[in-house]
Copies of this chain bind each other. A is one copy, B any other.
Amino acid sequence: MSPHAHRVPDAPGGGLREFDLIRRYFDRGPTRRAALGIGDDCALLAPATGCDLAVSTDMLVAGTHFFEDTDPEALGHKALAVNLSDLAAMGARPLAFTLALALPRPDEAWLGAFSRGLFALADRHGCELVGGDTTRGPLNVCITVFGEVPNGAALRRDHAEPGDDLWLSGCTGEAAYALRCRLQGRPLAAGDPAQLRLDRPEPRVALGLFLRHLARAAIDVSDGLLGDLAHVCRRSRVGAEIDAASVPMPAALRALPPGDALRLALAGGDDYELLFTAAPENRAALAACALPHGLTRIGRIVPGEDVRVLDARGARIDIDVGGYEHFGA
């Protein structure tokens, strides 16, 4: 963590020196991959020869991205997961991350649980904490993550071409459904699969690496499938069509009215699946993907600039993407 102790005018006597204790939960000794880790003015990273360093930052704010009473272990997991998902969408291999954390007060139980969730995920992906900052303030978690990707191999948003297939990993809509249940006062059980999608999303890191030579453009689905697809289309200057009947529907959504379920799946957000385009000649290779989450071909890239959802007869379905309430990250 940063060496800087923080003190505020209303906390004389070095009140924020207490925040030094936070380091206890985050400094795990010498780094394995980084040239220099926690404890100096900067960390030193040395990406492998022939690789670019992929960098992404996400800030999660209490009350905006998560409930104040969120289980800190789940928050530690999710704060890193949403960043690893950005690496996955670029086809980058996780390398390291920094953590900046503002807390209203030093709370050892909270820090212990938060760091457990954080490091359990980090260790699974070989991603090491190399530095950061801890301070007093309204609860805020800002992670910057670093990954390696061979020069020119990154999956970008601006490479989709008309004629590409449109693919989705896993399925979408469960996290938004779990959030809606909570907002309506009938929260799902902590172990419910839909609740786990909201609380502990699994970044598709291995899939991102697998796609390096098979996909043309990719994005992670964090803000709702249609909204994220629109980002790809805008940057690639293309349009897209989604076949509504082909959109995978998770179990939690099957009891809902079909229009409602479709809207959750296409506009719900907080999914952290990968949405990508690929040339039709790669269909067999993609269908053979042995990763533990299926890939579904849900549509195609077309000329133009519109993103359309089509019913079985090819007629356009209007989806209201603006009306949803969701956490975004």
Residues of A within 8 A of B (CB): 2-9, 11-14, 16-17, 35-36, 39-47, 52-59, 61-65, 86-87, 89-90, 92, 98-102, 130-133, 135-138, 140, 142, 144, 146-147, 149, 151, 154, 156-158, 179, 183, 218-220, 222-223, 227-228, 231, 235, 269, 322-329
- Are the CB atoms of B98 and A222 closer together than 8 Å? no
Residue of B nearest to A234 (CB): B39
Q: Which residue from B100, B227, B329 sits with its C-beta under 8 Å from A59?
A: B100
A4 near B222 (CB under 8 angstroms)?
A: yes
| Option from B39, B52, B140, B322 in Cβ contact (under 8 Å) with A44 | B52
Q: How far is the CB of A47 from chain B (nearest CB, A)?
A: 7
Contacting A55 at CB < 8 Å: which of B6, B59, B131? Answer: B131
Contact check, A144 vs B40: say whether CB atoms are below 8 A apart.
no
Q: Which residue of B lies closest to A142 (CB)?
A: B142
Contact between A98 and B57, CB atoms less than 8 A apart: yes
- Check if A135 sits within 8 Å of B43, measured CB to CB: no
Query: Which residue of B8, B46, B102, B269 contacts A140 across the interface (Cβ within 8 Å)?
Result: B102
CB distance from A269 to the nearest CB of B (A): 8
A7-B44 contact given A55-B98, A156-B36, CB 8 Å threshold: no
Nearest residue, chain B, Cβ from A89: B41
Instruction: Indicate if the CB atoms of A56 and B39 lie closer than 8 Å.
Output: no
B183 near A42: Cβ-Cβ < 8 Å: no
Q: Smallest distance from the beta carbon of A180 to chain B beta carbons, Å?
A: 10
Chain B residue contacts of A223, Cβ below 8 A: 3-5
Question: What are 11 of the A-B contact pairs (CB < 8 Å)?
Answer: A6-B327, A36-B156, A41-B220, A45-B55, A46-B53, A55-B98, A57-B144, A59-B137, A59-B140, A102-B140, A140-B140
Contact present for A59 and B151 (CB under 8 Å): no
Chain B residues in 8 Å Cβ range of A179 = 9
How far is B45's CA from A211's CA once the two chains are assembled, in angstroms? 21
Contacts of A140 in B (CB 8 A): 59, 61, 102, 137-138, 140, 142
- Contact between A138 and B57 (Cβ–Cβ < 8 Å)? no
Within the assembled complex, what's the spacing in Å between the Cα atoms of A294 and B130?
33
Choose among B46, B64, B100, B231 the residue that contacts A135 (Cβ–Cβ < 8 A): B64
Distance in Å from the Cβ of A325 to the closest Cβ of chain B? 5
